[in-house]
């Protein structure tokens, strides 16, 4: 009975059967170990790489490791079965050269995409100008970048074609509002009212991330004295704050009976 059992299991202990099994299991555990190591490395560098860049690079590294292990495992299994892999490696080299030439534009896109992510040139949600096209970045992939303009057009740009980028979202924007006041008004009173408005806007509006100040008188115009308010705001939010400031100034001047002059034509009768 024991001899029959031994005869039954003996074929399964041949290297042609156990070898591939151990190779596949070893490759699987090696992949798990390497992915955990790379994940920990990127967790340590959180202060250097933001979450988006970390996830993208981690995904690319894991894919490279996975396909490398698969290739090595297949070659090792072929060696177990007595198949020479030197000819296969030579063929793969030729195929790789041909494939590289055929896919060189794609490879350029991927390398350019990696550079954009690593150098933090722009991210999803940023407002950028690439060439003569300006808009918000909808997606940033390893091959292409999608940008949506304010009028709704979406432009898809191959990463290899992105040579120069103007990022309007990296730093705060500056909102500037010029306020004309009649020469008949008390300029000290106007200055005080505008200072109080700046303090209130700073407390109430979260888009104002820096200082907001009334610089005082900036010019004597034909029919007015001009005051100026500047505010450091979130990137690309300066137009919104400028409109809001103009609205608040108009309401405040109406309450305080402060005149905002306008152009007048005087006709003299002979």
Q: Is residue 264 part of a domain?
A: no
The count of structural domains within the chain is 3
Residue where a domain terminates, one of 137, 167, 197: 167
My answer on whether 19 and 68 are in the same domain is yes
Q: Is residue 262 part of a domain?
A: no
Q: Is residue 24 part of a domain?
A: yes
**Environment class of 208 (CB within 10 Å of its CB; exposed 0-12, middle 13-18, buried 19+):** buried
Asked if residue 198 lies in contact with residue 212, where contact means CB atoms within 8 angstroms, the answer is yes
- Summarised one tens digit per residue, pLDDT across range 151-182 is 889 999 998 898 888 888 777 888 999 999 99
Domain residues for 231? 173-256
- Stretch 194-207: mean pLDDT, rounded? 91
Say what the pTM is. Answer: 0.51
pLDDT given for residue 101 in this prediction? 54
pLDDT classification of 71: cutoffs 50, 70, 90:
confident
Q: Is residue 191 part of a domain?
A: yes
My answer on whether 184 and 204 are in the same domain is yes
More confident residue, 185 or 143: 185
CATH of the domain at 179: 3.30.70.100
- Stretch 212-225: mean pLDDT, rounded? 90
My answer on whether 141 and 179 are in the same domain is no
Residue where a domain terminates, one of 102, 131, 155: 102
Residue 217 sits at φ, ψ, to 5 deg, of -70, 135
């Amino acid at each position: 009975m024991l001899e029959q059992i031994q005869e039954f299991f003996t074929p399964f202990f041949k290297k042609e059967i156990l070898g591939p099994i151990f190779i596949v299991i070893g490759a699987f555990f090696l992949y798990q170990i390497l992915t955990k190591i790379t994940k920990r490395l990127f967790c340590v560098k959180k202060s250097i790489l933001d979450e988006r860049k970390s996830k993208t690079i981690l995904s690319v590294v894991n894919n490279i490791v996975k396909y490398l292990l698969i290739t090595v495992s297949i070659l090792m299994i072929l060696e177990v079965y007595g198949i020479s892999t030197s000819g296969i490696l030579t063929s793969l080299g030729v195929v790789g050269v041909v494939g590289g030439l055929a896919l060189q534009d794609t490879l350029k896109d991927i390398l350019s995409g990696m550079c954009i992510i690593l150098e933090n040139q722009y991210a999803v949600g940023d407002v950028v100008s690439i060439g003569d096209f300006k808009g918000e970045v909808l997606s940033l992939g390893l091959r292409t970048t999608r940008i949506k303009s304010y009028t709704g057009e979406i432009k898809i740009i191959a990463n290899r074609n992105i040579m120069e980028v103007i990022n309007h979202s990296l730093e705060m924007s500056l909102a500037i509002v010029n306020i004309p006041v009649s020469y008949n008004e008390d300029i000290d009173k106007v200055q005080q009212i505008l200072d109080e408005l700046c303090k209130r806007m700073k407390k109430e509006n979260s888009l104002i991330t820096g200082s907001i100040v009334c610089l005082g008188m900036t010019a004597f115009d034909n029919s007015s004295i001009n005051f100026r308010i500047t505010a450091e705001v979130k990137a690309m939010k300066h137009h919104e704050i400028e409109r809001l400031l103009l609205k608040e100034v108009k309401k405040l001047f109406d309450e305080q009976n402060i005149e905002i002059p306008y152009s007048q034509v005087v006709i003299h009768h002979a």
